[in-house]
Amino acid sequence: METFISLAIAILAAPLFPGIILKVKAFFAGKQGPPLFIKYYTVAKLFRKGSVYSNSTSFVFTLGPVVGFASAFIVLLFFPFAGATPLFSFHGDVIVLFYLMGLGRFFTVIAALDTASPFEGMGAAREVFFSTLAEITIFTVLLLFCRMNGSLSFAEYFIGENPISFMSDTGALLFLVVFAMFMVLLTENSRVPVDDPATHLELTMIHEVMILDHSGPDLALIELGSFYKLFFYSAFITHLIYPFSTADGIGNWFMFYGLLAVVYAVVGVTESMMARFKMDLVPKFVLTSFALVFFAAILTMGVFQ
């Protein structure tokens, strides 16, 4: 029961949190900012609309949003939000899920290329490059976690017998992981300093430019998918900061969503305080995150010997 409630909350709450980022950014800019529920309004509005399709596009263009959404959504089914047992879990599910997100990206990219637009091609080329680099960091984190407690699934990481936490012997290494995963979060979810979703210059964007030609419910699916993706990455970091155990009950949930809001707020602060990198600096930024976790992984060699 707890599983379903937790999942339902996650599904419903995910569009709320990006509103926090907007609020934080507005605060820094000295503005009032859009209402907290802005993203719900956006999605609802898009769902009501029709669509315009480019003459260049084929069926692949319509598959992009669907696969992208499905691949972001499936992760929620495997993730132990606030320590609740996820709907599904097995040893190795993290690999499957990160690859499924790769599938989502594959279709987003080919949908962008389907429009024959040079801008969308440009965004697609950047997206595949940067996300490949981010994947290296992610897999280093996976093998670091596997080395810490032998687990290979989200449930084992956070609510297993020997959860990954700051309290354990190797907890100090998690500082590096939290920092690196935050950088991955910024990269994978097209936030400043890697990408700027707010800019109006198509040349400088990555993710947003790929979806220029989508409209109506298609665009709504893409937006929802990106909310879930951001929600997942933020929840991952939240779990690293504060480990949960199923025994603690309802207090967990407040703690979890509170910390989650903090993670989103930090994203907002980062966006307010940093400018977007020049494109050739982005690989260095992403590889810095890799260097951090790689260092952590090498350190485990000393710990276990």
Partner 1 sequence: MDTFLLSLTVLLAGGLFALLTYRLFSLMKAGYIAITAVGCLIGLYAIATPLQGGEIVTFSVSWLHIFTLSFSLDPLSAFFLIPIFAVCPLAVVYSFSYMDHPEQQGRVGVSFFFCTLLIISMALVATADNIISFVLVWECMSLSSFLLVLFEYQKISARKAGYIYFIFTQAGALFIFAAMAMAYSHTGTFDFSSFSTIPANFKVIIFFLALVGFGSKAGIFPLHIWLPYAHPAAPSNISAVMSGVMIKMGIYGIIRLYALLDVTELIFGEVVLSLGIISGILGVVYALGKHDLKKLLAYHSVENIGIILIGAGIGMIGISSNNMVMASFGFAGSLLHVLNHSIFKSLLFLGAGAVLQKTGIRHIDQLGGLMKRMPTTGKTFLTGSISISGLPPFNGFVSEFLIYYGAFHGITLNGSSFIFVMLAILSLAIIGGLAAACFTKVVGVVFLGEPRTEKAANGSEVGIAMTAPMILLAASCLLIGLFPAPFVDLAFMGLASVKALAPVGAEEIAVVTANLALAARLFLALFLICVLLRKVLYLRKQISRGPTWGCGFTQPTVRMQYTGTSYAMSIVDFFRPFVLIRTRYSGINRIFPGRTTYESRVDDIAEVALVDRIVTPLLYLIGKFRWIQHGYIQLYIGYIVVTIIALLLFF
In a 10 Å sphere around its CB, with 0-12 CB exposed, 13-18 middle and 19+ buried, how is residue 196 labelled? buried
Q: Does 115 bind partner 1 (CB under 8 A)?
A: yes
Write out the binding residues for partner 1, residues 235-274 only, by CB under 8 A: none
Q: Does 216 bind partner 1 (CB under 8 A)?
A: yes
Q: Does 96 bind partner 1 (CB under 8 A)?
A: yes
User: Does residue 164 sit in helix, strand or coil?
Assistant: coil
Q: Does 41 bind partner 1 (CB under 8 A)?
A: no
Q: From its phi and psi, is residue 83 left (phi > 0), alpha (psi between -120 and 50) or beta?
A: left
> Toward partner 1, which CB reaches closer, 250 or 301?
301
- Per the CB < 8 A criterion, the answer to whether 95 and 251 are in contact is no
> Toward partner 1, which CB reaches closer, 103 or 269?
103
Q: Does 93 bind partner 1 (CB under 8 A)?
A: yes
Alpha-carbon torsion, ordered 45, 51, 52, 56, to 10 deg? 130
Of the candidate residues 9, 36, 42, 62, the single one contacting partner 1 (CB under 8 A): 62
153 Cβ contact list (under 8 Å, min separation 6): 78, 89, 90, 91, 92, 93, 94
> Toward partner 1, which CB reaches closer, 60 or 172?
60
Of the candidate residues 2, 197, 283, 299, the single one contacting partner 1 (CB under 8 A): 283
Of the candidate residues 1, 30, 32, 50, the single one contacting partner 1 (CB under 8 A): 50
Of the candidate residues 18, 43, 69, 219, the single one contacting partner 1 (CB under 8 A): 69
Q: Does 197 bind partner 1 (CB under 8 A)?
A: no
Cβ at position 171, least distance to partner 1 in Å: 19
Q: Which residue type does 39 have? A: K
Count, residues near partner 1 per rule CB under 8 A = 81
Q: How far, in Å, CA of 10 to CA of 77, rounded?
A: 10
Q: With contacts defined by CB under 8 A, name the span among 68-76, 165-173, 185-193, 258-266 that binds partner 1.
A: 68-76
> Toward partner 1, which CB reaches closer, 22 or 209?
209
Alpha-carbon torsion, ordered 230, 232, 235, 240, to 10 deg? -110
DSSP one-letter code for 88: -
